[in-house]
Structure 1
Amino acid sequence: MSVVVVTDSSACLSPELVDRLGIRVVPLHLLHDGDDYRDSVDEIPRGLSGVTTSGASPGELGDAYAAALADSGGDGVVAVHISRQLSGTWEAARQAAQALGEKVRVVDSASTGMGLGYPALAAARVARAGRSLEAVYQRAVEVAARGRTLVVVDRLDHLRRGGRIGTAAALLGTALAMKPVLHLVDGKLVLREKTRTSTRALAKLVDAAVEQAGSQPAAVAVHHADTPERAEEVAAQLKERIPTVTEMVVTGIGNVLGVHVGPGAVGVVVCPGGADAEDSSTASD
């Protein structure tokens, strides 16, 4: 048996990767008019307004961890989740893990999207190699620490309503018709740069991602909210300007994250050093 990796649906991992690496995904929730939709599980009607979101509950996570622990044959579980600054999921995960004992380890990715997905993938790859619980946990922590997440949104209203960015900053940005470049710092979404046009914002997004990648190998993901053409354009620029890309993913941003960033958003996750095979920092148990 081997350690089992669990994450949540905000990781935006493809079903193919999840199946191949045996990752368990716990859905986050979208709430609308008394209905509770499980992200990436339930069919969600298009065009809903007034949608809110909710993290996974301690009960849901506890059930997932218990099943994963049993399937690991007692080797253990590493649960990698969305930033505690963005969702109550991490606190629910901590409670669920505490009830199951030391064989369940929880990692705060301090990110979301593939900023969460890459640590989960890296941990699962180490787990499939038969490594120990500690080695899998440390790999997730190490890859999460290297990840950098940037995003451009068309409007700040959605982030303000969801409490993911300060009201003053959101209102100022809206009043000035800014196209901001945002990034995650210590798990919080903050303003990195202000621009006046979408074209300029996307150019700054690409520049920032190239800067973060540096000259070493890097895994790169481009996310989008109903704007695949923008995402493909950004991805093409990144492939050209970061010749050391080891892994490139272009994917939708997911239903829960889409509620907060709004349509038209484009995000980039850069993981310098990649998320593939182990490196020297996790070479021994």
Structure 2
Amino acid sequence: MRRIILSTESGADLPEDLVQKYDLQVVPMHIIMDGKDYLDGSLPVEDIYDYYGRTKKIPTTTATNTHEYETFFKTIKEKFPDCIIIHIGYTSKASSSFQNAVIASEEFDNIILIDALNVTGGLAAIVLYAADLLQKEPDISPEDLAVKIEAVIPKSRLAFIPGSLEFLKAGGRVSNMASLIGGLLKIKPCIELRDGKLMSTKKYRGNMSGASEKLLSDYLKEFPIDRKQLYFIYSIGLDEKVKERMDAAAKENGFQHVRWIQAGGMISTHSGAGGFGIAGLEE
């Protein structure tokens, strides 16, 4: 049986220990700041917030380009000769990264491309589902694994509350941003992935502590999330008391395992400091 290698982009925000555990291959996306191009993950997220504090400008982000994908896939093939790569990509409806991967893959045999239609923890949930399944069933065929991954994509549910409306507005990635009227200080929008697009779906009033609890309540009412695993996403600056309360709330709702995922440069550039999100897979 030929070895299957799973890959994805840095926008999945995969914790490094899980990258190592499952031998996942991650290609960086880009952050443009002060006229310089940084690979996502190569600079502290705090630098993004400091940059905004100094300049009142939001860094921009760009996709992994075709040449980078060619190099990425070539490196994997050199490291794991005769392998089959299954690349689980960042939603094609918010970035050109996946299309660039498609173009680059034409130069190689045995690459299966899957558009996860998700980002950050929602993408991570899909990748980690695939990694766990591959570990449990090492003899599974690439075709069968790809079918199972495709089947779980509609079941990955992501919702988050950004830390800053300024960052969200400047990012320009939310399809119905016009519905977030005025940036009122006491309004906290909920952003969800719907059909691969970032959409504003609800608004919460008050502080992040109350809003995060309401978000979890609404999320669990709407989606039949598998209680075996839940992912909480946070951007640097989220109050530790909010984390403690959400851990307790997850246990109260019967979750066996909770994993916190720190938003990396790509997501933090669009959501700002102190954001909170939830991701999980439906049963």
Quickly name the TM-score band, shorter chain normalised.
0.7 to 0.9
Q: Which runs of 5+ in 2 are unaligned?
A: none
Q: 2:280 aligns with which of 262, 270, 279?
A: 270
Q: Work out whether residues 125 and 280 of structure 2, in 8 Å CA contact, stay in contact via their aligned partners in 1.
A: no
Q: Which residue of 1 aligns with 2:134?
A: 127
The residue aligned with 1:277 is: none
Q: C-alpha displacement at 1:71, in angstroms?
A: 4.0
Aligned match for 1:109, one of 99, 108, 116: 116
Q: Evaluate the alpha carbon distance shift between residue 228 and residue 80 of structure 1 in structure 2; reply closer, same or farther with a 3 A threshold.
A: farther
> Shift in Å at residue 264 of structure 1?
1.8
Runs of 4+ in 1 over 4 A off after TM superposition: 42-45
Alignment match, 1:186? 195
Residues 47-83 of structure 1 show CA distances to partners (whole Å, capped at 9, x for unaligned) of: 1233111111111112222232344432411101111
Give the structure 2 partner of residue 25 of structure 1. 26
The Cα RMSD (Å) is: 2.2
Shift of 1:25: 0.6
TM-score, scaled to structure 1: 0.86
**Judging changes above 3 Å, is the alpha-carbon distance between structure 1 residues 215 and 140 closer, same or farther for their aligned structure 2 residues?**
closer
Q: Which residue of 2 aligns with 1:255?
A: 265
Instruction: Note closer, same or farther for the CA distance 1:126–1:154 as it changes in structure 2 (3 Å cut).
Output: closer
Taking structure 1 as reference, are residues 99 and 35 closer, same or farther at Cα in structure 2, changes over 3 Å only?
same
Tell me how far 1:205 sits from its aligned partner: 0.8
State whether structure 2 residue 78 is matched by structure 1 residue 66.
Answer: no
Which residue number corresponds to residue 51 of structure 2? Answer: 48
Contact 1:231–1:266 under 8 Å retained in 2: no
Q: Size of the alignment, in residue pairs?
A: 269
Question: Are the aligned partners of 1:11 and 1:112 in contact in 2 as well (CA < 8 Å)?
Answer: yes
**1:176-211, Cα deviation, whole Å (9 max, x unpaired):** 742112211011111221222134422321112322
The answer as to whether partners of 1:182 and 1:192 remain within 8 angstroms in 2 is: yes
Residues 1:44 and 1:167: Cα distance change in structure 2 (over 3 Å): closer
Change (3 A) 1:17 1:212: farther
Give 2:159's aligned amino acid: L
The answer to whether structure 1 residue 225 and structure 2 residue 244 are counterparts is no
Q: Is the 8 A contact 1:29 1:54 kept in 2?
A: yes
In 2: Cα distance, 1:255 partner to 1:21 partner: 22
Q: How many percent of aligned residue pairs carry the same amino acid?
A: 23
Higher relative contact order (CA 8 A, sep 6+): 2
**Structure 1 stretches of 5 or more lacking a match?**
274-285
Rounded to whole Å, the distance in 2 between the matches of 1:157 and 1:219 is 32
